[in-house]
């Protein structure tokens, strides 16, 4: 009986250690070849957008980001952890859904962000405009540069 308990404790400890990766090790989903995606971890100029550079405390910037996302119409946060977030934005007319993925890298004082259309090829710059508007909102709140 004690062997089973000891085995269980070791197994759970190792399993937890593997799951506890830092935010700097996490990555956003890659953008496809289509122009309807922007990412602060994008590898080319078409898809790249600057990450949000945090001023002050990262937790304050994270809370302001969530508040800003919740204040936007047709935007819903669908999943969040202490340092990751997923939201969905639905277009008004055709009800297209865009995915917004966010990673808080508190150590580097950065917020990595991605916005991408689920379907179609072009988005007429909507995803880039969305993130730049979010950047402006957080700059006005004085939580990012």
Question: Within a domain: residue 10?
Answer: no
Residue 75 reports pLDDT greater than 80 = yes
Question: Within a domain: residue 16?
Answer: no
Question: Within a domain: residue 68?
Answer: yes
Question: Within a domain: residue 15?
Answer: no
Question: Within a domain: residue 129?
Answer: yes
Average pLDDT over residues 86-102: 93
* pLDDT tens readout for residues 12-56: 555 444 444 455 678 999 999 889 999 999 989 999 999 999 999
Question: Within a domain: residue 13?
Answer: no
**pLDDT for residue 24:** 61
Whichever domain contains 134, its CATH number is: 3.30.310.80
Question: Within a domain: residue 20?
Answer: no
Cα–Cα nearest to 143, from 117, 116, 104: 104
As to burial, measured by CB atoms within 10 angstroms (0-12 exposed, 13-18 middle, 19+ buried), residue 38 is: buried
| Size (the chain), residues | 145
Total number of domains in the chain: 1
CA of residue 81 relative to chain centroid, distance:
11
Q: Tell me the torsion sign for CA atoms 87, 52, 124, 35.
A: negative
Average pLDDT over residues 113-142: 93
CA distance 16 to 10: 10
Question: Within a domain: residue 80?
Answer: yes
Beta strands per DSSP E along the chain = 37-39, 52-53, 75-80, 84-90, 97-105, 110-117
Q: 72 lies in which domain range? A: 28-140
Residue 12 dihedral angles phi and psi, to the nearest 5°: -65, -35
Structure token pair of residue 65: 């980001």
pTM listed for this prediction: 0.80
């Amino acid at each position: 009986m004690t062997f089973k308990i000891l085995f269980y404790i070791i197994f759970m400890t190792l399993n937890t250690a593997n799951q506890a990766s830092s935010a700097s090790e996490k990555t956003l989903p890659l953008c496809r070849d289509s122009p309807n995606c922007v990412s602060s971890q994008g590898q080319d100029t078409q898809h790249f957008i600057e990450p949000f550079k945090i001023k002050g405390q990262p937790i304050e910037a994270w809370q302001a980001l969530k508040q800003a996302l919740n204040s936007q119409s047709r935007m819903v946060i669908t999943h969040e952890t202490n340092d990751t977030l997923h939201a969905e934005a639905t277009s008004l007319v055709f009800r297209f859904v865009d995915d917004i993925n966010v990673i808080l890298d508190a150590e580097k004082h950065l917020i990595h962000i991605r916005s991408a259309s689920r379907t179609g090829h072009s988005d007429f710059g909507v995803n880039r405009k969305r993130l730049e508007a979010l950047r402006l909102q957080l700059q006005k709140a004085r939580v990012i540069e």
